Chains A and B, each alone.
Chain A
Amino acid sequence: DADVTQTPRNRITKTGKRIMLECSQTKGHDRMYWYRQDPGLGLRLIYYSFDVKDINKGEISDGYSVSRQAQAKFSLSLESAIPNQTALYFCATQGRHPGELFFGEGSRLTVL
């Protein structure tokens, strides 16, 4: 089983719909991250969390919200999806070594 699991892996939705992407991890890490990948732009940080009570905005948080339900679970929500949120979304965790991230397999979201 994967250490960092994302669901769903693929999702097609319509403009205006609410979408939740879920992430769970078995690595026991406190730090969790949500990134967005777009071709030619690399990865951009949406939100990150250092523990259940600590949520921080990344560089592109507008239009997104997150929930850290437990140490192992970190969800990303799009309250009202729009087409330019079509992207590949990654969840990641970080252990003791700064910058060494462990990524999930990604969730591909298409907003029509």
Chain B
Amino acid sequence: AQSVAQPEDQVNVAEGNPLTVKCTYSVSGNPYLFWYVQYPNRGLQFLLKYITGDNLVKGSYGFEAEFNKSQTSFHLKKPSALVSDSALYFCAVRASGSARQLTFGSGTQLTVLP
């Protein structure tokens, strides 16, 4: 089985401050990990992924994520938050080499306060 946990339903951060959105996962074998963002009344958009290699992954809009195998985590980060980053963020996982499809977390609503 594979699963994703996003422990925070809501994260608030002031504009200009660093932000972190947390994600932990459970999967058999090596994971493929993803972050998606959903703006209001829109579909999800791919932000970044970890497949293999460097544990720090850089993605769109200045976001990055750090893969930590020992803690089974893949937290999303940004050094300086913008009001326009306010959106719903989803973490997703699938096992490498598996026929299983992506499993999504429950989502974290990020609000960046001006």
Residues on A lying within 8 angstroms of B by beta carbon are: 4, 33, 35, 40-45, 48, 58, 90, 92, 97-106
Return chain B residues, CB-CB under 8 Å to A41.
Answer: 106
B105 to chain A, nearest CB (A): 5
Chain B contact patch, size range: 20 to 34
Contact with A along B2-19 (1 / 0, CB 8 A): 001010010000000000
Q: Is the CB of B43 within 8 A of A90?
A: yes
B22 touches A (CB below 8 Å): no
**In the complex the two chains form, what is the Cα distance from A4 to B6 in whole Å?**
27
Known: A101-B46, A103-B44. Contact between A42 and B32, CB under 8 A? no
Q: Is the CB of A99 within 8 A of B90?
A: no
Main secondary structure of the interface of A (DSSP, over half): strand
Return chain A residues, CB-CB under 8 Å to B107.
Answer: 40, 42
Return chain B residues, CB-CB under 8 Å to A45.
Answer: 101-102
Residues on B lying within 8 angstroms of A by beta carbon are: 4, 6, 9, 32, 34, 36, 41-46, 49, 90, 92, 94, 101-102, 104-107
26 inter-chain pairs at a CB distance below 8 angstroms, sorted by A residue, are: A4-B43, A33-B101, A40-B9, A40-B107, A41-B106, A42-B4, A42-B6, A42-B104, A42-B105, A42-B107, A43-B44, A43-B90, A45-B101, A92-B43, A92-B44, A97-B49, A101-B102, A103-B43, A103-B45, A104-B43, A105-B41, A105-B42, A105-B43, A106-B41, A106-B42, A106-B43
Return chain B residues, CB-CB under 8 Å to A42.
Answer: 4, 6, 90, 104-107
* Central interface residue in B49, B90, B92, B104, by most chain A CB within 10 Å: B104
**In the complex the two chains form, what is the Cα distance from A48 to B107 in whole Å?**
22
Closest to A104 in B: B43
